[in-house]
Amino acid sequence: MASKKAPKKNAFYAQSGGVTAVINASACGVIETARKHKDKIGKVYAGRNGIIGALTEELIDTSKESTAAIKALRHTPSGAFGSCRFKLKSLEQNLAEYERLIEVFKAHNIGYFFYNGGGDSADTCFKISQLSEKMGYPVQAIHVPKTVDNDLPITDNCPGFGSVAKYIAVSTREASFDVASMCATSTKVFILEVMGRHAGWIAAAGALASTKDTEIPIVVLFPEITFDKDKFLKKVDGLVKKHGYCTVVVSEGVMGADGKFLADQGLKDAFGHAQLGGVAPVVASIIKDGLGLKYHWGVADYLQRAARHIASKTDVDMAYAMGKAAVKFALQGHNSVMPTVDRISNKPFKWKVGMAPLSKVANVEKMMPKDFITKDGFGITDKCRTYMEPLIKGEDYPPYKDGMPQYVRLKNVAVPKKLGKFDLKK
């Protein structure tokens, strides 16, 4: 007779916050690695729409997905199980939520908690990691880093960022070639609005479009630098006079000296209705009024973070590695940690998986170092370039059928509920 062992614990995995081109590659890393350790990890249950799925007991049984479907997550953008913007309050503020989580974990024998997200999610994951100590429920909570904003501390970079950076760098190069063709008789300035409300990482990627062998006049407007209209116009004017054209990459988060977002111009339409503009048309107006130059503008918005078709191979590899490492850490008995990317060297670019305690990750926002931005405030330094260039390296094309990328949609079969309803406090 076989000796009786403690039943295997199941794992919970969820995606949180804005999705990316590679967050599903992390999911793939978690699920594939867990499947290789069926002796220790039972099923992987995914939260439908992030942590909300845990609170409402809306769990997805990933064991119902084929090997091929899970493998295809690696090349599928967006969040395959649904994501959410939801931050758990503190234990003191909302004990009911934590009690509910423990109830759900108990009902489904969940002993591993993998949370895939950015700063807010790291905070949620950290709180879950304390349940063992504070409420006596044994759970190992591991955070899997993800955010296009690249603002998590300790890790060299955040999976998701490399791909958005590649998209912005490639798009900026392509659009700049376009403007250069037209500038003699038509458009002289192209303005591209990119994400990054607090930190200029993504805007900085626009500057990667210009390299030694393909120089392009680019002006970057960082959220870290207060917008100075006169200085900006002088810069644009100088570049257009010298090169015939220039490209402006502007972060959505750029603010004026009044501390207000440049995008927030109190626009009204002809009927007096408030109009929801972006910052790109505002910059376009400033250029038109100040210099009279013909312009075009674009707003990348979701296209930039969903662009799996031009994902960075380095980024995909890192995203997968983070998911894989999270499971390994759990199997080693760790709790309250996050796998990190640790850079070993720049040339050649080498990195390894490291580990950071969540207490040092949660609620810490990594801004762009000051020495990554040029003195005039409109470009990136060599130091920044050395840091960023390896992150966009390599292509990792998805499979195509009839001209379209083949992204997987999972069956997302629900795990039968065992508990009563729970009302979310919004």
Does 290 engage in binding with its own copies (CB under 8 A)?
A: no
Strand partners, 380: 373
With tokens 């580990």, the residue in question is 355
> Judged by CB, which is closer to its own copies: 90, or 181?
181
Residues numbered 390-409 forming contacts with its own copies, rule: CB under 8 A? 392-395, 397, 400, 402-407, 409
Spatial CA neighbour of 282 closest among 258, 304, 257, 261: 261
CB 74, CB 316: distance < 8 Å: yes
Does 52 engage in binding with its own copies (CB under 8 A)?
A: yes
Q: Which of 267, 344, 367, 413 binds its own copies (CB under 8 A)?
A: 267
Residues numbered 407-426 forming contacts with its own copies, rule: CB under 8 A? 407, 409
> Judged by CB, which is closer to its own copies: 34, or 165?
165
Binding mask 137-176 for its own copies (x = CB under 8 A): -----------------------------x--xxx-xxx-
> Judged by CB, which is closer to its own copies: 8, or 87?
87
> Judged by CB, which is closer to its own copies: 25, or 139?
25
> Judged by CB, which is closer to its own copies: 143, or 166?
166
Q: How far apart are CA 150 and CA 153, in angstroms?
A: 9
Residues numbered 108-137 forming contacts with its own copies, rule: CB under 8 A? none
Radius of gyration of the chain (CA): 23
Task: Determine whether 149 is an active site residue.
Answer: yes
Residues numbered 76-95 forming contacts with its own copies, rule: CB under 8 A? 76-80, 82-86
Does 209 engage in binding with its own copies (CB under 8 A)?
A: yes
Structure tokens at 178: 């376009």
Structure tokens at 406: 């083949």
Does 22 engage in binding with its own copies (CB under 8 A)?
A: no
Does 60 engage in binding with its own copies (CB under 8 A)?
A: no
Does 302 engage in binding with its own copies (CB under 8 A)?
A: yes
Burial code (b: 16+ CB inside 10 Å, e: under 16) for 317-354 equals bbbbbbbbbbbbbbbeebbbbbbbbebeeeeeeebebb
Q: Which of 117, 118, 206, 278 binds its own copies (CB under 8 A)?
A: 278
> Judged by CB, which is closer to its own copies: 133, or 215?
215
To its own copies, the closest distance from the beta carbon of 188 in angstroms equals: 13
Catalytic residue among 39, 120, 123, 149: 149
Residues numbered 317-336 forming contacts with its own copies, rule: CB under 8 A? none
Q: How far apart are CA 268 and CA 308, in angstroms?
A: 36
Does 249 engage in binding with its own copies (CB under 8 A)?
A: no
CB 306, CB 75: distance < 8 Å: no
- Please write down the HEC assignment for all residues of 46-102: EECCCHHHHHCCCEEEHHHCCHHHHHHHHHCCCCCCCCCCCCCCCCCCCHHHHHHHH
Tell me which stretch binds its own copies (CB under 8 A): 18-26, 337-345, 352-360, 376-384: 18-26
Write the DSSP string, 268-291.
B-TTS-B----HHHHHHHHHHHHH
Q: Which of 73, 142, 299, 356 binds its own copies (CB under 8 A)?
A: 299
Does 66 engage in binding with its own copies (CB under 8 A)?
A: no
With CB under 8 A as the rule, give the number of residues binding its own copies: 89
Does 379 engage in binding with its own copies (CB under 8 A)?
A: no
Supply the DSSP symbol for 308.
G
> Judged by CB, which is closer to its own copies: 224, or 396?
396
Tell me which stretch binds its own copies (CB under 8 A): 118-126, 131-139, 264-272, 355-363: 264-272
With tokens 């850079």, the residue in question is 343
State the burial class of residue 270 (Cβ atoms within 10 Å of its Cβ: 0-12, 13-18, 19+). Answer: exposed
Helices and strands counted in the chain (H then E): 13, 13
CB 45, CB 342: distance < 8 Å: no
To its own copies, the closest distance from the beta carbon of 202 in angstroms equals: 14
Does 180 engage in binding with its own copies (CB under 8 A)?
A: yes
> Judged by CB, which is closer to its own copies: 367, or 424?
424
Q: How far apart are CA 166 and CA 391, in angstroms?
A: 8
Does 306 engage in binding with its own copies (CB under 8 A)?
A: yes
Catalytic residues: 149
